[in-house]
Amino acid sequence: MLYPRESETREVRSLDGIWNFVRSDQANPTQGVRDEWYTKDLSQSRPTIPMPVPASYNDITTDNLRDHVGTVWYDRKFFVPRSWSKNQRIWLRFGSVHYEAFVWINGQKVVKHEIGHLPFEAEVTDILNYGAENRITVMCDNALIQTTVPQGKITEVPNDNGMTIIQSYTFDFFNYAGIHRSVHLYTTPRTFIEEVEVTTALSENNSVGEVFYSVSVNGSAANEAINVLNIQANLYDKEGAKVANTTSDGKLDGCLKLTGVKPWWPYLMHPEPGYLYELEIKLLAANEELLDVYRLKVGLRTLSWNKSQFLINGKPVYFRGFGRHEDSDIRGKGLDNALMVRDFNLLKWIGANAYRTSHYPYSEESMQFADQHGIMIIDECPSVDTENYSQELLGKHKSSLEQLIHRDRNHPSVVMWSIANEPRTASMNADSYFELVANFTRSLDKTRPITAAIAVPYTQDKSGRHLDIISFNRYNAWYSNTGRLDMVTQNVIDEATAWNKQYNKPVIMSEYGADTLEGLHMTPAYVWSEEFQEEVFARHFKAFDQLRKKGWFIGEFVWNFADFKTAQSYTRVGGNKKGVFTRSRQPKAAAHLLRKRYFALGRDLDQCQFPEDLFTYIADLIS
Ligand code: GCB
């Protein structure tokens, strides 16, 4: 699914803003559907409150909307200009709604979509009132059960007022819900470019590049006259100079070849990271009439992997990064450009070159930003703590990967697919289940390796043989051997080595860390203190340096980039505090330590420059 972009043949209009909002009665979640609330303004059925879009609804009000389980309703009015009625098609697109969405326009159902963090759209050409006001109504359901992705449980329990419904889940982040990303209306011509798939190749020492494109066309003309449609593809460099072009004769795919390529490189691996070209796709009718134009950014790079290495443009990569969350105060998981830009500034400040989109797909805007800044992404689907394997679950798990790959396959920043986080892979069914999930993922994209972040002991795991790269999560000195800083380094070395021995594949430590309350200082180091987090990190660094020498250890990812909200638990003080940054994105002491390591690795491996302020002046004696 293409990101909505304006061009000479397309218009895009945002429906973001303040919508009207109603919470259903928890004991009666389908009442609004039965009473057809979508046939009139919500305010005529129930008192409404204002609700920002995009945002999670949970932390906006002062009542217990935070813990609401079940359906909520949104609506708003919007105007569609008369000019839009002419010979074109109109699409309604949601960046994401968590978890399930039902959408009506002017009382007519237009789309239903399940699984959060992924976009969906519907054509609304024949439903809109042109030159008049329209109403959009959305019902959103946050309920997670054993066959949703991710899984949860709904139970009815007695409380002081009778009975109530409780949502529980095993994963460790708050189940924020609502219209999380932008809502757009956009126009396309009658016959238009529906999909573009891009892959790239480099040769002659990365100086010659090829951009392979394949286009799908939607529209009445497409079927009758597919062989009279032509694609004109133009490639422009950063300065806007045309560097390659082709016109395909009656074909919807082709290849652009260019010399003197500037490859896409990760941050700190090259002085000019994140180099992007612009690919312009023009759909032409047989008589040369311009039907549609779509432009997207393209990075030229190759990926390859073997039993011990992961390479980009032929150069081995060592990942230094984070597991993250889309999470912040008030807006929860709602898209926030200020937060996104701040986060990328911090990633670059600290010298990271990668992150994993733990534990679900992140916004399309952040994927574009990662392309531009050369940050490599391990792109994770929303399957977390996967268990109770069933056919229905498998179907939805595969669907989440299919939607993710269709959304993200053209991003040069995406270098790996993560098909699950901490699945219960010790169970018997895990073997065949993950074989099916991994094979399905490979059938959709052969250009990127597959991983999963595994937490079961290597002796019990049944998924690793289906993966290309082994990632493991482990909390030495935290969940195991709590407080024992003297039991970190050797354990990390031993476990990573055992994973490698077992599967003969590259290994990443995809999570390690310690909860840390900013401002709590204790020496000698004690759990939850800033000193303890620094010590835990340093003991891991020692292990990583020994592992790196073995040749198959290819990355270290701290858990977590920033503190984030979780469900309530006596192990969580206001949420998970394993952040290197606070929830308001200020550094803890360990951030400065990690920064020194990440830049030291960057200089050692990729000859990057140190930032001037990396080391604080101490004395003339030390340089
Ligand atoms: C994990 C999970 C992550 C948790 C983390 C923790 O293994 O993958 O989602 O937040 O541990 O801090 O417990």
List the one residue out of 491, 421, 482, 484 whose CA is nearest residue 456. Answer: 421
Mutate which of 151, 172, 325 for ligand 1 pocket (most atoms within 8 A of beta carbon): 172
Q: Indicate whether residue 333 lines ligand 1 (CB < 6 A).
A: no
Distance 568 CA to ligand 1 centre (A): 15
Separation of 480 CA from ligand 1 center, angstroms?
13
- E strands in 142-219: 153-159, 162-168, 178-179, 183-189, 192-203, 208-218
Contacts of 352 (CB under 8 A, 6+ apart): 267, 320, 321, 322, 375, 598
Ligand 1 pocket residue status of 559, Cβ below 6 Å: yes
Ligand 1 atom 5: residue of nearest CA: 172
Residue 557 Cβ contacting ligand 1 at under 6 Å: no
State the catalytic residue, choosing from 121, 326, 380, 422: 422
For residue 521, how far is its CA from the centre of ligand 1 (angstroms)?
24
| CATH level 3 topology of 11-142+177-189 | Jelly Rolls (2.60.120)
Annotated active-site residue 36? The verdict is no
Residues 282-310 pLDDT 10s: 999 988 899 999 999 999 999 999 999 99
Q: Residue 424, Cα to own-chain centre: how many angstroms?
A: 22
97-117 core/surface letters (b: 16 or more CB in 10 A; e: else): bbbbbbbbbbeeebbebbbbb
The CATH superfamily assigned to 191-301 is: Immunoglobulins (2.60.40.10)
Strand partners, 187: 90
| Nearest atom of ligand 1 to the alpha carbon of 171 | 9
- Ligand 1 centroid vs 173 CA: distance in angstroms? 9
Report the nearest-CA residue for atom 6 of ligand 1.
172
Predicted confidence at residue 529, as pLDDT, reads 98
Query: What string of H, E and C letters represents the secondary structure of 551-569?
Result: CCEEEEEEECCECECCCCC
- Amino acid, single-letter form, for residue 257: K
* Pocket lining: 511 vs ligand 1, CB cutoff 6 Å: yes
pLDDT digits (tens, 9 = 90+) for 441-482: 999 999 999 999 999 999 999 999 999 999 999 999 999 999
Q: How far apart are CA 59 and CA 67, in angstroms?
A: 9
pLDDT of residue 293: 98
Q: Which atom of ligand 1 is nearest to the CA of 358?
A: 9
All structural domains of the chain with their residue ranges: 11-142+177-189, 191-301, 315-606
The fold adopted by the segment(s) 315-606 is TIM Barrel (3.20.20)
Probe ligand 1: pick from 325, 383, 386, 511, max atoms within 8 Å of CB?
A: 511
- Structure letter (DSSP) for residue 437: H
Q: Can you tell me the distance from the alpha carbon of 448 to that of 332, in angstroms, rounded to the nearest whole number? A: 31
Query: Which ligand 1 atom lies nearest to the CA of residue 359?
Result: 9
Ligand 1: nearest atom to the Cα of 473 = 7
Closest-lying ligand 1 atom to the alpha carbon of residue 578 = 12
pTM score of the predicted model: 0.97
Within the chain, which residues score under 50 in pLDDT?
A: none
Cβ atoms of 264 and 240 within 8 Å: the answer is no
Ligand 1 binding pocket includes 336 (Cβ within 6 Å):
no
| H-type alpha helices, 318-363 | 337-350
pLDDT for the residue numbered 98: 98
